[in-house]
């Protein structure tokens, strides 16, 4: 799912604020297709890992209980303007995506 992550990272007062929007269906496996009545198979992000210059700064373990196209926001310290921030996710079907941005 290339291009599924939009991410911004901004340094302010020695703290980086990260905001990310991930495009993903996040199906629980419990919903039924309205036309066919068939259960829609589970398809959800299981892990999100964020790193700064190769060092992990945040890890999240998710399940089907997270909404479609999830928004993620968090803060961390210890970075500077120009450092590389990477956001990566993997789902229960083995798919994933990664996006890297410079901290502004």
Quickly list DSSP for 65-103.
TSPSS-EEEEEEES--TT-EEEEEEEETTS-EEEEEEE-
Query: What was the pLDDT predicted at 64?
Result: 87
Q: Mean pLDDT of successive 10-residue segments in the chain (104 residues)?
A: 93 97 96 95 98 98 94 98 98 97 98
pTM, entire model: 0.92
Query: What was the pLDDT predicted at 22?
Result: 98
Query: What was the pLDDT predicted at 68?
Result: 96
In order of their start, the domains of the chain are: 5-102 (2.60.40.10)
Cβ burial, residue 82 (10 Å; 0-12/13-18/19+): exposed
Query: What was the pLDDT predicted at 2?
Result: 78
Sheet holding 5-12, edge to edge: 5-12, 15-22, 71-77
């Amino acid at each position: 799912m290339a291009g599924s992550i939009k991410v911004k990272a901004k340094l302010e007062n020695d703290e980086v604020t990260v905001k990310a929007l991930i495009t993903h269906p996040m199906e629980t496996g419990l919903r039924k297709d309205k036309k066919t009545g068939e259960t829609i198979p589970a398809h959800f992000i299981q892990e999100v890992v964020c790193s700064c210059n190769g060092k992990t700064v945040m890890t999240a373990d998710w399940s089907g209980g997270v909404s479609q196209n999830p928004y993620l926001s968090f803060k961390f310290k210890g970075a500077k303007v120009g450092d590389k921030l990477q956001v990566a996710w993997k789902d229960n079907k083995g798919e994933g995506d990664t996006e890297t941005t410079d901290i502004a």
